[in-house]
Amino acid sequence: MAEPIRVTVLRGETAESEHRVHAVAVRDGQVVASAGDPDFVTFMRSAAKPIQAMPVARAREDLDDRDLAIASASHLADDDQLAAVRALLAKAPATEDDLECGPFEGSTLKHNCSGKHAGMLALCRAEGWPIEGYRLADHPCQQAGVAEVARLAGTEEVLTGIDGCGVVTFALPLTRIAIAFAGVDGRVADAMRAHPVLIRGPRAIDTVLMQAFPGWISKGGAEALLCAASPEGLSLALKVEDGAQRALRPALGAFLDELGLDGALFGPTPVGNSHDELVGEVRVS
């Protein structure tokens, strides 16, 4: 097994912390490169959102790219993103009061998972399922999500837990996560390519990756997971073992370089202080 990617936090020239990153690249279901443990088991968290959007994409031909992008998003509640959530709710049809993601800053609409939840409400309307309790594990909406992940990952062994927004989330070996993400295609993938800024935001690692690599799709998840897939069939999954988000960007740059791709946009990141002084950096060891 290859060594994990080691990301060091430097203050001055002295190492202050170190993070271990597991990474895997697959093509046609086969591992073509890895660092650390390609079978490291972790939750997909929000990286599963494009997969969770696939059932509603099949069920609702009336949804456009913007609708499916926001259903796949972990948005930052900017004006365009909130407008997209409202538009999807109107098509469902449903209201902000129907969202079961919980509030952020006093608003369920501003919760970064509100687009996913609006998509789930649209799916419930299409299938004739009750909307109350759609977030619960025994609801057919959540069972559809489990089935979709299992189908794309090529396994029936999908561990589940409860995500931060109250719906089901999925745990798999990293290789299976990469294989599943490679299966995001059709309308959902096209929507992500068309609206990368809706997926997260201007400086977010997944949005930047989609803007820098034409045709790619990418989605991050909580606790420092990142998935990406190219139009040529290469897919990646990276996980920072201790969940430290700061290690993900330089690790991605190093892994892209190993794959013969240009990882320059994802190199070392600066460490500053309250005086806006540069006092160190986060970089691959």
What was the pLDDT predicted at 1?
67
CA 193 to mean position of chain CA atoms: 14
Residue-wise burial string across 161-175, b where 16 or more C-beta atoms lie within 10 A, e elsewhere: eebebebbbbbbbbb
Query: Contact 149/158 with Cβ under 8 angstroms?
Result: yes
Q: What is the pLDDT of residues 123-160, one digit of tens each?
A: 999 999 999 999 999 999 999 999 999 999 999 999 99
Secondary structure of residue 36 in the 3-state scheme: coil
Peptide bond into 55 cis (omega under 30): no
User: What's the predicted TM-score (pTM) here?
Assistant: 0.97
CA 256 to mean position of chain CA atoms: 18
* Mean pLDDT on 255-277: 96
Task: Kindly tell me if the per-residue pLDDT of 52 is higher than 70.
Answer: yes
Q: What is the DSSP pairing of strand 168-173 with strand 278-284?
A: unpaired
The total number of residues shown for the chain amounts to 285
Q: What is the pLDDT of residues 54-97, one digit of tens each?
A: 999 999 999 999 999 999 999 999 999 999 999 999 999 999 99
Q: What is the pLDDT of residues 191-226, one digit of tens each?
A: 999 999 999 999 999 999 999 999 999 999 999 999
Task: Kindly tell me if the per-residue pLDDT of 118 is higher than 80.
Answer: yes
The DSSP secondary structure of 171-205, one letter per residue, reads EEEHHHHHHHHHT--HHHHHHHHH-HHHHS-TT-H
Residue among 202, 273, 208, 284 nearest 246 (CA): 284
Torsion angle, alpha carbons of 7, 258, 172, 133, to 10: 80
Percent of the chain surpassing pLDDT 70: 100
Question: Domain spans of the chain?
Answer: 30-232
Query: Contact 5/237 with Cβ under 8 angstroms?
Result: no
Task: Kindly tell me if the per-residue pLDDT of 229 is higher than 90.
Answer: yes
To the nearest whole number, what is the mean pLDDT of the chain? 97
